[in-house]
Amino acid sequence: MSVLNQKTINENINLEGIGLHSGLQANLTIKPAEPNTGIIFKRTDLKENNIIIPNIFNVSSAIFCTTISNASDASISTVEHLMGALYGMGIDNALIEIDNQEVPILDGSAQPFVKAISKVGIRNSNAPIKIIKIEKKIEFNDGKKIISIEPSKVSLDIDFELQYENKLIGTQRNVVKVYESDLTDIYNSRTFCLYEDIQKLKDMGLAKGGSLDNAIVVKDNKIMNNEGLRNEKEFVNHKILDCMGDLYLAGYKIIGKIVCSQGGHKLTNQLLRKVFLDKNNFSLIEIKEKSLPHAIINKSSLRSIA
């Protein structure tokens, strides 16, 4: 069976926990789905109009987390870490049922999703994968925040930099090849915030479920979590995870190169909206093994594309 065929999970995955921003308890079930289904969310606490497609044009808010909504205003927030895990693990098709408005934050990273997917295993199909190939360089900026995407040969590269005035976070940069690099540090990296921003977030009605169990909190030169950091570049690595999750809202895996400085959910979404407004910017290709040069098939670089 081809490694370039669509994949789903072998069995149902059940996870539960509170939402980072809503503080609400939710049960999440990820179910296997047929080829060409894509990733679909379903709010099981709502009787009708409860299907929500994770698509860039369905993003109703991208401030502090990514929220997707349908035409009836049913929404699901904080989808990005789960979407990042599905992207990295090569899951093309899955039905995600949730009985509340926010995906559980769990430990603040994608690790619990990745572990759960690894535990049940991945099922291959006979249907070839589809991939979005970026054909033109597109840029989007908002003041000092800059993001661009440009063509690449067979990889998705994410080159991300963040710059914080806080000295402990400071300037961090990392470059990841999504289909080739070991993504362990990306999956493990937790969401983070500055201690002084917690009250601001709470005043905005956000971070109601936030705690040291699901976020890194930085106060001046100190990490408030007893266990410290999980890896040296945990801050920027988490931003790369967010970026992967937000990119997967394009609907398919992408071949291209992202360069981003100081971006986040909103900037990634604005870039993708710009890309997909013009059909000349990209092409949607169906990858069949026989249509690829042999050298590429043999490259382990394509191991996790599918």
- Residue number, 185 or 242, with CB nearest to Zn ion: 242
Minimum Å gap between C-beta 66 and Zn ion is 9
Amino acid at 217: V
Query: What are the distances in angstroms from CA 291 to CA 131, 179, 297, 298?
Result: 14, 19, 10, 13
- Residue number, 7 or 81, with CB nearest to Zn ion: 81
- Residue number, 22 or 191, with CB nearest to Zn ion: 191
- Residue number, 19 or 32, with CB nearest to Zn ion: 19
Q: Name the active-site residue from 21, 238, 265, 294.
A: 265
Q: How far apart are CA 66 and CA 32, in angstroms?
A: 23
Establish if 188 lies at the interface with Zn ion (CB under 5 A): no
- 81 catalytic? Reply is no
- Residue number, 107 or 159, with CB nearest to Zn ion: 107
Under the phi-then-psi rule, with left for phi > 0, alpha for psi from -120 to 50, and beta for the rest, what region is 262?
left
CB 113 within 8 A of CB 59: no
Q: How far apart are CA 303 and CA 281, in angstroms?
A: 26
- Name the token pair of 49: 């109009």
Q: How far apart are CA 179 and CA 12, in angstroms?
A: 25
Provide the 3-class DSSP secondary structure of residue 252.
coil
Q: Which of residues 144-183 bind Zn ion (CB under 5 A)?
A: none
CB 90 within 8 A of CB 1: no
Minimum Å gap between C-beta 289 and Zn ion is 35
Burial of 34 (0-12, 13-18, 19+ CB in 10 A): exposed
Query: What are the distances in angstroms from CA 118 to CA 9, 86, 149?
Result: 9, 11, 30
253: Cα within 13 Å, side-chain hemisphere: 31
- Residue number, 100 or 268, with CB nearest to Zn ion: 268
Minimum Å gap between C-beta 125 and Zn ion is 30
- Site track for Zn ion across 218-257, x = CB under 5 A: ------------------------x---------------
For residue 272, the 8-state DSSP code is H
- Rg over CA atoms, the chain: 19
Backbone angles phi, psi at 73, to 5 degrees: 70, 15
Of the residues 77, 125, 191, 214, which one makes contact with Zn ion according to CB under 5 A:
191
The binding site for Zn ion (CB under 5 A) comprises 191, 242
Catalytic (active-site) positions = 265
